[in-house]
Amino acid sequence: MTRKKNEWLDWIKALVIAGLLAFIVRMFFFAPIVVDGPSMLPTLKNGDHMIVNKFNYLIGEPERFDIVVFHATANRDYIKRVIGLPGEHVAYENDTLYIDGQKMDEPFLNGEKSTLLEKQLYTFDFTLEDVPGDFETIPEEHVLVLGDNRDNSTDSRILGLISYEQIVGEADLIYWPLNRFSLIKE
C-alpha cells in the first residue's frame, strides 16, 4: 500500500512541477497570439496564430522593423511593426520613409507598392510632429509603430508613441495554419 501511495505522490509532484514550468514559460518567455484584423496585411493575415517571444526584450530592446505585440488598451493588445526608435525623427514624404532625414527602404512593402496605380500612395505623408504627443524626436524607451496595411491600421498615427512598458514581446513565428508556418523577418 505504501508503494502505491508513493507512486501517486510522485505523479502529483511531477504534474505540479510540469504545471509550474509551463506557467513560468508562458508568463516570462513565450505566449500565443491570434492576429485579429487586416492591419498587418500582407505580412500577417487575420487568424494567423503566432508565438510572441517575451524574452527578447528582457535582455535587449526593440529594433527597427521588429513586429511587436503591445498593450494598446487595458483590454486589447495590438500587433504592429516598429518603424521609429528612441532619439529619431520619423517622416513620410511621397511614400518614402525618412529617419533623421535619411531615406529608408521598407522591403516588406515592396510587393504591395508595386501594385499601386501611378501617383497613388501606400503611406500618406506625415511627420513625428503629427503623431499625438507633439514630439520632435522619439523619447527614450518609446517606439513609433505602424501596421503594414497603412490604409487600415490603428497605430502610432492615432495611438501615439508606444512605451517599452506596453510591449509584450516580438512576434516572429506563425505556427497556424500549417501552410503559413514560418519565421517572420523583414
Residue 5 placed within a domain: no
Residue 21 placed within a domain: no
- What's the domain range around 38? 30-183
The CATH number of the domain where 141 resides is what? 2.10.109.10
Q: Which three cell numbers stand for residue 155?
A: 497605430
Q: Which three cell numbers stand for residue 54?
A: 517575451
Is position 113 annotated as part of the catalytic site? Answer: no
Residue 70 placed within a domain: yes
- Select which of 39, 54, 153, 156 is catalytic: 39
162 SS3 class: strand
Domain count for the chain, please give it.
1
Residue 3 placed within a domain: no
What's the first-to-final CA gap in the chain, in angstroms?
A: 61
Q: Which three cell numbers stand for residue 139?
A: 523619447
- Select which of 54, 80, 153, 156 is catalytic: 80
Residue 15 placed within a domain: no
One-letter amino acid identity for 2? T
Q: pLDDT 10s digit of each residue in the chain, 186 long?
A: 566 767 777 777 778 777 777 666 656 577 889 999 999 988 999 999 999 998 888 888 999 999 999 999 889 999 999 999 999 999 999 888 999 999 999 888 877 766 665 666 778 889 999 999 889 999 999 999 999 998 889 999 999 999 999 999 999 889 999 899 888 875
Residue 137 placed within a domain: yes
Residue 58 placed within a domain: yes
Count of C-beta atoms within a 10 Å radius of residue 66: 25
Is position 39 annotated as part of the catalytic site? Answer: yes
Residue 93 placed within a domain: yes
